[in-house]
Amino acid sequence: MMRTRPLKVALLGCGVVGSEVARIMTTHADDLTARIGAPVELAGVAVRRPDRVREGIDQDLVTTDATALVKRGDIDVVVEVIGGIEPARTLITTAFEHGASVVSANKALLAQDGAALHAVAGQHDKDLYYEAAVAGAIPLLRPLRESLAGDKINRVMGIVNGTTNFILDKMDSTGAGYQEALDEATALGYAEADPTADVEGFDAAAKAAILAGISFHTRVRLDDVYREGMTEVTAADFASAREMGCTIKLLAICERAADGASVTARVHPAMIPLSHPLASVRGAYNAVFVESDAAGQLMFYGPGAGGSPTASAVLGDLVAVCRNRLNGATGPGESAYAALPVSPMGDVVTRYHISLDVADKPGVLAQVATVFAEHGVSIDTVRQQGKDGEASLVVVTHRASDAALTGTVEALRKLDTVRGVASIMRVEGE
């Protein structure tokens, strides 16, 4: 039986995503009512600039007092799309305390304080949903949290930032340098005026923390994620990658140790074989590759940002939370029972591609090979090119720990015959 009294929704933020949430709530009102079992009503919209014209939104609903809105007591669901740590954290906590469940797209806050927010939600028997916080419109967190709840996830590897993927794809396909590709991304609106959060991997690291926590039933904070940006990737790196049958992507990688006793989470550029499904992800799209015991290999692909795609994920959560509200229930909360330790980057084992500038004379290769052997790093292939007394030496290793590779590189720098380390890049997906 359909309930006639509407469920009231408070919207915090009415920018690119928030305005789309409001629009879809209005244009799809009848469908949402049918899917939920009750009508949903936009009861208030908190903004910083109330005088801005917002098409399709009743100006009487607009307020600058977000705290008063979430404290009303008659709000069923608060949708938070303002981003940042504060005032979002306080507003979400206040919403729980005053009887509302929360749908959020705030990756930074969830990566930093997700455990505390889940605890407050649990204390007040309310929902905290955040599908839109990772990979935009792609259904990802709910499949990891619910569809794969009976499976054991071993690895999650993906492209979770559209800006960086656009830049790297442009460098690969056109031979452009980093700055040239960034300028084009900015002109097309893919990159912010200050792209630091994207190109230095902060955005992807927050998403990696969320993915690792859900996948491994372990609390993983942003500070636990190793982060390395992509600003040093060059056209020469792409040329080397092509010679290996690879391309370069900025990857978020969350994996369980082989013995199952720990996990790691990291973000960095990596060479990946062209045969791997992630290698074909072009432009500003996102994709996440999941490996589990029973399901095997799964890939989730689609638009990872933008107003409409992100709003789609927000509305999906809104429907789920409203259904729970009608049934007097809550959905899955935080699952951190495994409490696995997060290992440091030094313990991570992978392959490496190292490019060295060396003197072009006899015995250099033997010296370099000796250093690798002394640090327990096995060499897979070596390629040397040189003229006029200088040479380029490219070494690809077998799998080695990050700590062992770091020690190797430090020793190589001390050799008189090594002029410099041109680049070091991990090789993933093999």
Catalytic site residues?
Answer: 207
Q: How far is CA 345 from the centre of its chain?
A: 18
- The helix or strand, by DSSP H or E, that contains position 227, with its residue range, turns out to be strand 226-227
Q: Give long-range contacts, CB 8 A cutoff, 24+ apart: 400-405.
A: 400/349, 400/350, 400/351, 400/352, 400/376, 401/346, 401/347, 401/348, 401/349, 402/345, 402/346, 402/347, 402/348, 402/349, 402/350, 403/346, 403/347, 404/375, 404/376, 404/377, 405/352, 405/375, 405/377
- The helix or strand, by DSSP H or E, that contains position 404, with its residue range, turns out to be helix 402-413
Question: Three-state SS string across 327-345, please?
Answer: HCCCCCCCCCCCCCCECCH
Query: From the CB of residue 330, how many other CB atoms can be counted at a distance below 10 Å?
Result: 17
Measure the CA–CA gap between 135 and 230, rounded to whole angstroms.
19
